[in-house]
Amino acid sequence: MNSPNAQRPTHNGAPTAPIGYLLHLADNALVFGQRNAEWCGHGPVLEEDLALANHALDHMGQARLLYQHAATCINADPALTKAFDHLQGARGDGQVSEDTLAYFRSAHEFHNYTLLELPHHGPLAGPARADRDYATTIVRNFLYAALMNLWWTRLQDSADTQLAGIAAKSLKEVRYHLRHAGDWLVRFGDGTAESHARAQAALHHLMPYTQEFWTGSDAEAAAVANGTGVALSELKPAWDALVDEALAEATLQRPKDSGYVSQGKRGVHSEHMGFLLAEMQSLAREHPTATW
Protein backbone atom coordinates (compact mmCIF):
# COMPACT_ATOMS: atom_id res chain seq x y z
CA MET A 1 0.00 0.00 0.00
CA ASN A 2 1.30 3.45 -0.88
CA SER A 3 1.93 5.86 1.93
CA PRO A 4 -0.67 8.62 2.40
CA ASN A 5 2.32 10.95 2.64
CA ALA A 6 3.48 10.18 -0.89
CA GLN A 7 3.61 13.04 -3.38
CA ARG A 8 0.76 12.95 -5.88
CA PRO A 9 -0.23 15.40 -8.65
CA THR A 10 -3.71 16.78 -9.16
CA HIS A 11 -5.58 16.21 -12.39
CA ASN A 12 -3.86 19.20 -14.00
CA GLY A 13 -0.36 18.17 -12.95
CA ALA A 14 0.04 20.60 -10.04
CA PRO A 15 1.23 19.04 -6.77
CA THR A 16 -1.08 18.53 -3.84
CA ALA A 17 -0.02 18.43 -0.22
CA PRO A 18 0.36 14.92 1.24
CA ILE A 19 -2.80 13.66 2.90
CA GLY A 20 -0.97 13.33 6.21
CA TYR A 21 -0.03 17.01 6.03
CA LEU A 22 -3.59 18.11 5.25
CA LEU A 23 -4.99 15.95 8.04
CA HIS A 24 -2.47 17.33 10.54
CA LEU A 25 -3.63 20.87 9.77
CA ALA A 26 -7.28 19.84 9.77
CA ASP A 27 -7.06 17.85 13.00
CA ASN A 28 -5.38 20.78 14.72
CA ALA A 29 -8.20 23.09 13.66
CA LEU A 30 -10.99 20.67 14.56
CA VAL A 31 -9.72 19.71 18.01
CA PHE A 32 -8.81 23.27 18.91
CA GLY A 33 -12.19 24.50 17.71
CA GLN A 34 -13.89 21.87 19.86
CA ARG A 35 -11.95 23.01 22.92
CA ASN A 36 -12.68 26.71 22.41
CA ALA A 37 -16.36 25.91 21.84
CA GLU A 38 -16.53 24.59 25.39
CA TRP A 39 -16.55 28.18 26.62
CA CYS A 40 -19.85 28.88 24.87
CA GLY A 41 -22.26 29.84 27.65
CA HIS A 42 -19.46 29.81 30.22
CA GLY A 43 -17.35 32.85 29.30
CA PRO A 44 -16.20 35.24 32.03
CA VAL A 45 -18.08 38.10 30.37
CA LEU A 46 -20.60 38.09 27.53
CA GLU A 47 -18.22 39.65 25.03
CA GLU A 48 -15.63 36.93 25.65
CA ASP A 49 -18.26 34.23 25.47
CA LEU A 50 -19.07 35.44 21.95
CA ALA A 51 -15.42 35.97 21.02
CA LEU A 52 -14.36 32.42 21.80
CA ALA A 53 -17.47 31.01 20.12
CA ASN A 54 -16.45 32.91 16.99
CA HIS A 55 -12.87 31.65 17.33
CA ALA A 56 -14.22 28.10 17.50
CA LEU A 57 -16.29 28.67 14.37
CA ASP A 58 -13.21 29.99 12.57
CA HIS A 59 -11.28 26.83 13.42
CA MET A 60 -14.19 24.59 12.46
CA GLY A 61 -14.41 26.40 9.13
CA GLN A 62 -10.71 25.85 8.51
CA ALA A 63 -11.08 22.17 9.41
CA ARG A 64 -13.97 21.76 6.96
CA LEU A 65 -12.01 23.25 4.06
CA LEU A 66 -8.99 21.08 4.81
CA TYR A 67 -11.03 17.89 5.27
CA GLN A 68 -12.91 18.59 2.04
CA HIS A 69 -9.62 19.00 0.19
CA ALA A 70 -8.24 15.81 1.74
CA ALA A 71 -11.42 13.83 0.99
CA THR A 72 -11.37 14.91 -2.66
CA CYS A 73 -7.77 13.72 -2.97
CA ILE A 74 -8.51 10.42 -1.22
CA ASN A 75 -11.56 9.60 -3.34
CA ALA A 76 -9.65 10.37 -6.56
CA ASP A 77 -6.68 8.09 -5.79
CA PRO A 78 -7.21 4.31 -5.65
CA ALA A 79 -4.19 3.81 -3.39
CA LEU A 80 -5.44 6.40 -0.91
CA THR A 81 -8.98 5.07 -1.16
CA LYS A 82 -7.68 1.68 -0.05
CA ALA A 83 -5.72 3.24 2.81
CA PHE A 84 -8.91 4.85 4.11
CA ASP A 85 -11.31 2.04 3.23
CA HIS A 86 -12.39 1.68 6.86
CA LEU A 87 -14.06 5.11 6.55
CA GLN A 88 -15.89 4.42 3.29
CA GLY A 89 -19.49 3.69 3.90
CA ALA A 90 -19.41 5.02 7.46
CA ARG A 91 -22.35 7.11 6.37
CA GLY A 92 -23.62 4.57 3.85
CA ASP A 93 -22.49 6.33 0.67
CA GLY A 94 -19.16 4.58 0.06
CA GLN A 95 -17.22 7.84 0.04
CA VAL A 96 -14.71 9.49 2.35
CA SER A 97 -15.98 12.95 3.29
CA GLU A 98 -15.25 15.78 5.68
CA ASP A 99 -17.71 14.19 8.09
CA THR A 100 -16.19 10.71 8.05
CA LEU A 101 -12.71 12.16 8.52
CA ALA A 102 -13.89 14.18 11.52
CA TYR A 103 -16.34 11.80 13.19
CA PHE A 104 -15.32 8.24 12.33
CA ARG A 105 -11.61 8.11 13.03
CA SER A 106 -10.29 6.90 16.38
CA ALA A 107 -7.90 8.83 18.61
CA HIS A 108 -4.76 7.18 17.24
CA GLU A 109 -5.77 8.24 13.71
CA PHE A 110 -5.80 11.93 14.65
CA HIS A 111 -2.58 13.90 14.22
CA ASN A 112 -3.23 17.12 16.13
CA TYR A 113 -0.76 18.59 18.58
CA THR A 114 -1.27 17.32 22.11
CA LEU A 115 -1.34 20.95 23.30
CA LEU A 116 -4.67 21.47 21.58
CA GLU A 117 -6.52 18.57 23.20
CA LEU A 118 -5.70 19.50 26.79
CA PRO A 119 -8.59 20.73 28.96
CA HIS A 120 -8.89 24.31 30.17
CA HIS A 121 -7.06 23.76 33.44
CA GLY A 122 -3.81 22.50 34.85
CA PRO A 123 -2.67 18.86 34.84
CA LEU A 124 -5.25 16.35 36.02
CA ALA A 125 -6.08 12.78 35.05
CA GLY A 126 -8.39 12.37 32.06
CA PRO A 127 -11.71 11.76 33.86
CA ALA A 128 -11.02 14.36 36.56
CA ARG A 129 -12.99 17.59 36.56
CA ALA A 130 -11.96 21.10 37.48
CA ASP A 131 -13.22 24.61 36.87
CA ARG A 132 -12.24 26.09 33.53
CA ASP A 133 -9.34 28.49 33.90
CA TYR A 134 -9.50 31.38 31.43
CA ALA A 135 -5.80 32.10 31.82
CA THR A 136 -5.01 28.57 30.60
CA THR A 137 -7.24 29.13 27.57
CA ILE A 138 -5.67 32.50 26.76
CA VAL A 139 -2.09 31.27 27.07
CA ARG A 140 -2.79 28.29 24.82
CA ASN A 141 -4.65 30.43 22.29
CA PHE A 142 -1.71 32.82 22.14
CA LEU A 143 0.97 30.15 21.75
CA TYR A 144 -0.94 28.41 18.96
CA ALA A 145 -2.07 31.60 17.19
CA ALA A 146 1.54 32.81 17.12
CA LEU A 147 2.49 29.61 15.31
CA MET A 148 -0.42 29.66 12.85
CA ASN A 149 0.13 33.33 12.03
CA LEU A 150 3.56 32.34 10.71
CA TRP A 151 2.50 29.00 9.22
CA TRP A 152 -0.50 30.29 7.26
CA THR A 153 1.62 33.18 5.98
CA ARG A 154 4.10 30.75 4.47
CA LEU A 155 1.43 28.41 3.13
CA GLN A 156 0.00 31.20 1.01
CA ASP A 157 2.89 30.35 -1.33
CA SER A 158 2.15 26.61 -1.33
CA ALA A 159 2.40 24.85 -4.69
CA ASP A 160 -0.94 23.26 -3.74
CA THR A 161 -3.19 26.07 -4.93
CA GLN A 162 -6.16 24.79 -2.92
CA LEU A 163 -4.11 24.82 0.27
CA ALA A 164 -2.73 28.26 -0.59
CA GLY A 165 -6.28 29.60 -0.85
CA ILE A 166 -7.23 28.07 2.50
CA ALA A 167 -4.13 29.64 4.02
CA ALA A 168 -5.00 33.11 2.72
CA LYS A 169 -8.50 32.90 4.21
CA SER A 170 -7.30 31.42 7.49
CA LEU A 171 -4.57 34.03 7.93
CA LYS A 172 -7.14 36.81 8.18
CA GLU A 173 -8.83 34.93 11.01
CA VAL A 174 -5.71 33.94 12.92
CA ARG A 175 -4.39 37.50 12.92
CA TYR A 176 -7.41 38.46 14.99
CA HIS A 177 -6.97 35.41 17.22
CA LEU A 178 -3.37 36.44 17.89
CA ARG A 179 -4.31 40.03 18.69
CA HIS A 180 -7.16 38.94 20.97
CA ALA A 181 -5.07 36.42 22.93
CA GLY A 182 -2.08 38.77 23.07
CA ASP A 183 -4.17 41.58 24.56
CA TRP A 184 -5.58 39.27 27.19
CA LEU A 185 -2.17 37.82 27.95
CA VAL A 186 -0.95 41.31 28.86
CA ARG A 187 -4.08 41.94 30.95
CA PHE A 188 -3.44 38.80 32.93
CA GLY A 189 0.30 39.14 33.28
CA ASP A 190 0.39 42.85 34.06
CA GLY A 191 -2.83 42.83 36.09
CA THR A 192 -3.50 41.70 39.64
CA ALA A 193 -1.31 39.37 41.63
CA GLU A 194 -3.83 36.56 41.12
CA SER A 195 -4.17 37.07 37.36
CA HIS A 196 -0.38 37.18 37.01
CA ALA A 197 -0.01 33.96 39.01
CA ARG A 198 -2.66 32.20 36.92
CA ALA A 199 -1.01 33.22 33.65
CA GLN A 200 2.43 32.18 34.89
CA ALA A 201 1.11 28.81 36.06
CA ALA A 202 -0.54 28.28 32.66
CA LEU A 203 2.76 29.03 30.92
CA HIS A 204 4.62 26.50 33.05
CA HIS A 205 1.94 23.91 32.29
CA LEU A 206 1.60 24.50 28.54
CA MET A 207 4.96 25.68 27.25
CA PRO A 208 6.58 22.20 27.29
CA TYR A 209 3.95 20.99 24.84
CA THR A 210 5.07 23.56 22.26
CA GLN A 211 8.28 21.57 21.78
CA GLU A 212 6.18 19.30 19.56
CA PHE A 213 5.79 22.16 17.05
CA TRP A 214 9.39 21.75 15.96
CA THR A 215 9.58 17.97 15.61
CA GLY A 216 9.51 16.80 12.00
CA SER A 217 7.32 14.12 10.45
CA ASP A 218 7.17 12.11 7.24
CA ALA A 219 4.20 14.18 6.06
CA GLU A 220 6.05 17.43 6.68
CA ALA A 221 9.15 16.19 4.87
CA ALA A 222 7.06 15.11 1.86
CA ALA A 223 5.24 18.46 1.79
CA VAL A 224 8.52 20.38 1.88
CA ALA A 225 9.93 18.16 -0.88
CA ASN A 226 7.12 18.92 -3.35
CA GLY A 227 6.78 22.59 -2.46
CA THR A 228 3.38 22.33 -0.80
CA GLY A 229 4.47 22.73 2.83
CA VAL A 230 7.00 24.34 5.08
CA ALA A 231 9.52 22.98 7.56
CA LEU A 232 8.25 24.31 10.88
CA SER A 233 11.76 24.40 12.31
CA GLU A 234 12.31 27.39 10.01
CA LEU A 235 9.54 29.27 11.83
CA LYS A 236 10.92 28.79 15.33
CA PRO A 237 13.11 31.95 15.49
CA ALA A 238 10.17 34.17 14.46
CA TRP A 239 7.84 32.34 16.86
CA ASP A 240 10.33 32.76 19.71
CA ALA A 241 10.54 36.47 18.97
CA LEU A 242 6.74 36.86 18.98
CA VAL A 243 6.39 34.94 22.23
CA ASP A 244 9.28 36.66 24.00
CA GLU A 245 8.02 40.12 23.07
CA ALA A 246 4.51 39.39 24.36
CA LEU A 247 5.74 37.80 27.58
CA ALA A 248 8.02 40.75 28.26
CA GLU A 249 5.09 43.14 27.89
CA ALA A 250 3.01 40.92 30.16
CA THR A 251 5.84 40.74 32.75
CA LEU A 252 5.76 36.93 32.55
CA GLN A 253 8.75 34.60 32.68
CA ARG A 254 9.21 32.11 29.87
CA PRO A 255 9.88 28.59 31.18
CA LYS A 256 12.82 26.68 29.78
CA ASP A 257 12.19 24.00 27.17
CA SER A 258 12.50 20.67 28.94
CA GLY A 259 10.80 17.40 29.71
CA TYR A 260 8.91 14.93 27.57
CA VAL A 261 8.15 16.03 24.01
CA SER A 262 4.53 15.18 23.23
CA GLN A 263 3.73 13.21 20.08
CA GLY A 264 0.13 13.96 19.19
CA LYS A 265 1.06 14.63 15.57
CA ARG A 266 2.19 10.99 15.40
CA GLY A 267 -1.08 9.72 16.87
CA VAL A 268 0.22 9.31 20.43
CA HIS A 269 -2.20 11.35 22.51
CA SER A 270 -2.89 12.28 26.11
CA GLU A 271 -5.61 10.62 28.14
CA HIS A 272 -7.82 13.63 27.41
CA MET A 273 -8.18 12.93 23.69
CA GLY A 274 -10.54 9.99 24.07
CA PHE A 275 -12.91 11.98 26.27
CA LEU A 276 -12.90 14.89 23.80
CA LEU A 277 -13.69 12.63 20.84
CA ALA A 278 -16.36 10.71 22.75
CA GLU A 279 -18.27 13.94 23.29
CA MET A 280 -17.63 15.33 19.82
CA GLN A 281 -18.38 12.17 17.83
CA SER A 282 -21.18 10.58 19.84
CA LEU A 283 -24.15 11.88 17.84
CA ALA A 284 -22.66 11.10 14.42
CA ARG A 285 -21.69 7.58 15.48
CA GLU A 286 -25.09 6.92 17.04
CA HIS A 287 -26.90 7.95 13.84
CA PRO A 288 -24.32 7.46 11.04
CA THR A 289 -26.78 7.58 8.12
CA ALA A 290 -28.93 10.44 9.39
CA THR A 291 -29.28 13.65 7.40
CA TRP A 292 -29.61 16.99 9.10
What percentage of the chain carries pLDDT values higher than 70?
A: 90
DSSP 203-228: HHHHGGGGGGGG---HHHHHHHHTTS
CATH number for the domain running over 15-121+129-255+266-286: 1.20.1260.10
Report the pLDDT value the prediction gives residue 26, as an integer from 0 to 100: 98
Mean pLDDT of 193-208: 96
DSSP 61-115: HHHHHHHHHHHHHHHH-HHHHHHTTTTTTTTSSS---HHHHHHS--GGG----HH
**pLDDT of 121 higher than 70:** yes
Q: Are 159 and 77 in contact (CB under 8 A)?
A: no
Report the pLDDT value the prediction gives residue 287, as an integer from 0 to 100: 81
pLDDT band (50, 70, 90) for residue 2: very low
Q: Are 58 and 29 in contact (CB under 8 A)?
A: no
Instruction: Give per-residue pLDDT as tens, 27-59.
Output: 999 999 999 999 888 878 888 888 999 999 999
Looking at the DSSP bridge assignments, the partners of residue 263 are 268
**pLDDT of 143 higher than 50:** yes
What percentage of the chain carries pLDDT values higher than 90?
A: 70
**pLDDT of 1 higher than 50:** no
Q: What's the predicted TM-score (pTM) here?
A: 0.91
> Residue 271, SS3?
coil
CB within 8 A of 134, min separation 6: which ones? Answer: 44, 48, 120
**pLDDT of 11 higher than 60:** no
Report the pLDDT value the prediction gives residue 14, as an integer from 0 to 100: 79
Cα dihedral: 256, 151, 141, 61 (round 10) = -160
Arithmetic mean of pLDDT over the chain: 90
Report the pLDDT value the prediction gives residue 93, as an integer from 0 to 100: 63
Report the pLDDT value the prediction gives residue 4, as an integer from 0 to 100: 59
**pLDDT of 9 higher than 70:** no
With CA atoms as reference, report the closest residue to 27 among 292, 278, 267, 209.
267
**pLDDT of 182 higher than 60:** yes
φ, ψ of residue 37 in degrees (nearest 5) = -65, -20
Q: 41 or 88, which is more confident?
A: 41
Half-sphere exposure of residue 283: CA atoms within 13 angstroms, side-chain side: 5
How many CB atoms lie under 10 A from the CB of residue 257?
Answer: 11
Report the pLDDT value the prediction gives residue 107, as an integer from 0 to 100: 93
CA 238-243-247 angle, to 5 degrees, is 150
CA distance 154 to 144: 16
Instruction: Give per-residue pLDDT as tens, 91-111.
Output: 556 688 899 999 999 999 999
Q: Are 202 and 210 in contact (CB under 8 A)?
A: no
Mean pLDDT of 69-86: 86
Report the pLDDT value the prediction gives residue 87, as an integer from 0 to 100: 73
Report the pLDDT value the prediction gives residue 8, as an integer from 0 to 100: 55
Q: Are 29 and 167 in contact (CB under 8 A)?
A: no
CA distance 82 to 69: 17
With CA atoms as reference, report the closest residue to 74 among 95, 104, 90.
95
Most confident of 23-27, 41-45, 82-86, 283-287: 23-27
